[in-house]
Amino acid sequence: MKLKLGLVGIGKIARDQHIPALEKSPDFELVACASRNARVDGVANFTDLESMLAQVPQLDCVSICTPPQTHFAAALVALRAGKHVMLEKPPAATTRQIALLADQAAQRGCTLFQSWHSRFAASVDAAREWARTRTLTGARIVWKEDVHHWHPGQQWIWEPGGFGVFDPGINALSILTEVLAHEVCVETATLSFPENQQAPIAAELRLRTEAGVAVDAEFDFRQKGDQSWDIELHSTTGSLKLSQGGATLTVDGQVVAADQGLAGEYPRLYSRFASLCVAKRSEVDWRPFQLVADAFLIGERRIVAPHQV
Ligand code: NAP
């Protein structure tokens, strides 16, 4: 029997990816949605999570697609109601919130899937295999996109806890921490804040692995024309490039795999959530979030031109 799922926060990612993935899922049935302004045809709709939980008690699980500033409160309510919870990235607004949610899930015997959709991109597994069987000499992340195109009207990204350019940038860090054999730390960071906003529009990070290998990362929300979601890894015996956010894999200059991007990630994400729910296990890895938090902690701050949302 399919798990009955309630979706919270019907915005861009819920409509673009979650609902289509759920429609085709062999594991889940979307039975209810909670969103202040939006409705989804064919399911029970509520304007808040509490009403959804009260009026659809048969829900097995809740998937949260609201902005990160609201994740903690929503996930806590759902876990306290005994539901399994899947959280969109970034998982929360503060590091402590993630730890408390993990504790709550363990106490309730519920699953907390603190998801990183980019880790389910088609070529991430192959990149991990490649990286772990070579001696790395360097790595580079270039994650540059046009915020007006990809995040139209999303004021929450620019508010405290909205992450700015790290909203997409954390996806690159989720892949990096998944594929590298060694842990990484932030060594230096420069964050560029528009003078009228509370979150960075661009950032440059120098990370370093435990083995001493430098990883340079550039994140920019002001990219026009070609967009870049690329990670390059260099080793003593060749190089690898993950592009299109992990969908395309190039090894030593030859494209060896190409897939459909985000649309391929979400069915795999929900499949993982289903297996975690059945096993009553949680998956919580907040290393990408720690790297972003550390960039905010030690980053130099530059003020740049104002940005209109
Ligand atoms: P979005 O288009 O702004 O949708 C989020 C929805 O959450 C809103 O439409 C809103 O619906 C609801 N909401 C509840 N509380 C809110 C608040 N305080 N401020 C604003 N909206 C609130 O955002 P999104 O792009 O779907 O992103 C949501 C989450 O998914 C983020 O964590 C983001 O990082 C992640 N994500 C986004 C993408 C992408 O390509 N956009 C990709 C992967 C992951 P109501 O007004 O109806 O309540």
Nearest-atom number in ligand 1 for the CA of 15 is 26
Numbered ranges of CATH 3.40.50.720 in the chain: 3-114
Taking only the tens place, the pLDDT of each residue in 271-302 is 999 999 999 999 999 999 999 999 999 999 99
CA distances in angstroms from 68 to 6, 117, 172, 211, 299, listed in the order given: 18, 15, 17, 33, 21
Q: What is the CATH number assigned to the segment(s) 3-114?
A: 3.40.50.720
Catalytic residue among 89, 144, 224, 280: 89
Numbered ranges of CATH 3.30.360.10 in the chain: 119-259+293-304
207 CA to centre of ligand 1 in angstroms: 29
pTM of the model: 0.97
**245 in ligand 1 pocket by Cβ < 6 Å?**
no
Quick one: pLDDT band at residue 50, thresholds 50, 70, 90?
very high
- Ligand 1 site-directed mutation target among 8, 10, 13, most atoms within 8 Å of CB: 13
The residue contributing the CA closest to ligand 1 atom 8 is: 11
Q: Give the C-alpha separation, 273 to 10, whole Å.
A: 19
Q: What value does the mean pLDDT take over residues 16-20?
A: 97
Over its C-alpha atoms, the chain yields an Rg (Å, rounded) of 19
Q: What value does the mean pLDDT take over residues 54-75?
A: 98
Tokens of 242: 């993950």
Nearest-atom number in ligand 1 for the CA of 13 is 26
**167 in ligand 1 pocket by Cβ < 6 Å?**
yes
| Confidence at residue 263, expressed as pLDDT on a 0 to 100 scale | 84
**89 in ligand 1 pocket by Cβ < 6 Å?**
yes
In the predicted structure, residue 261 carries a pLDDT above the cut 90: no
67 CA to centre of ligand 1 in angstroms: 5
For 119-259+293-304, the fitting CATH number among 1.10.150.120, 3.40.50.2000, 3.20.20.10, 3.30.360.10 is: 3.30.360.10
